[in-house]
A and B are shown apart, each in its own frame.
Chain A
């Protein structure tokens, strides 16, 4: 149980285009999903927290107009990188938590974005 999927697993796009990444909880309903960014050989940096049906909470330094997050249902959250640039190239990982206060987050397999 507690499986989280991400789609696509990797994407290559041209600079200036937008890319949407999906995060799905396959066998549970997730009231909260998190989006992380991981640079090569670096740790995970929390970008934002999304709660189903409400606006995402972004961490300091993360541009909310650049990284659009939507959590429209209890099993799906999307991250859209708008007007992508090469510096947005990274490994994006989502995680999900069943309910507030639950201690464990379940992570997706990640999406590798390369912006040319």
Chain B
């Protein structure tokens, strides 16, 4: 079984400031890790994922996340946020097996202020 903890339910930040959204997980097996973004009244969009290989993964809109196995973390970062980044962000984990069920964290609401 896996579990995901997103320590911050809300993160307010000013535009152009850096941000880190924290995600820790627990699992008894090797995992795949994901970050999804949800804009108001919309479904989830995959932001980035770690499957294997390089522990630093990047998205096309400036976010990155680093898989840290020893700390069981997969924090999401962006060096300079925009108003349009305001959304709910979900960290998710799945075991790297045929079942591959996703377990979601509680979500972090990123609120970017002008």
Find out whether the CB atom of B102 lies under 8 angstroms from the CB atom of A46: yes
Tell me if B's interface is mostly helix, strand, loop or mixed: loop
Find out whether the CB atom of A103 lies under 8 angstroms from the CB atom of B36: no
Whether A105 contacts B107 in the complex (CB less than 8 A), given A44-B90, A93-B43, A112-B41, comes out as: no
Whether A103 contacts B51 in the complex (CB less than 8 A), given A43-B107, A46-B101, A97-B100, comes out as: yes
Counting chain B residues whose Cβ lies within 8 A of the other chain, the interface size class is: 20 to 34
In the complex the two chains form, what is the Cα distance from A24 to B36 in whole Å?
Answer: 20
Counting chain A residues whose Cβ lies within 8 A of the other chain, the interface size class is: 20 to 34
Q: Quick check: is B60 within 8 A (CB to CB) of the other chain?
A: no
Chain B residue nearest to A97 (CB atoms) is: B100
Find out whether the CB atom of B101 lies under 8 angstroms from the CB atom of A107: no
Contacts of A44 in B (CB 8 A): 44, 90, 104
In the complex the two chains form, what is the Cα distance from A106 to B107 in whole Å?
Answer: 18
Contacts of A50 in B (CB 8 A): none
Starting from the known contacts A103-B96, A107-B46, 10 additional A-B residue pairs (CB-CB under 8 Å) come to A43-B90, A43-B105, A46-B101, A46-B102, A95-B102, A100-B100, A102-B100, A103-B49, A104-B46, A106-B46
Chain B residues with a Cβ under 8 A of chain A: 32, 34, 36, 41-46, 49, 51, 90, 94, 96-98, 100-102, 104-107, 109
Chain A residues with a Cβ under 8 A of chain B: 4, 6, 34, 41-44, 46, 49, 93, 95, 97, 100-110, 112
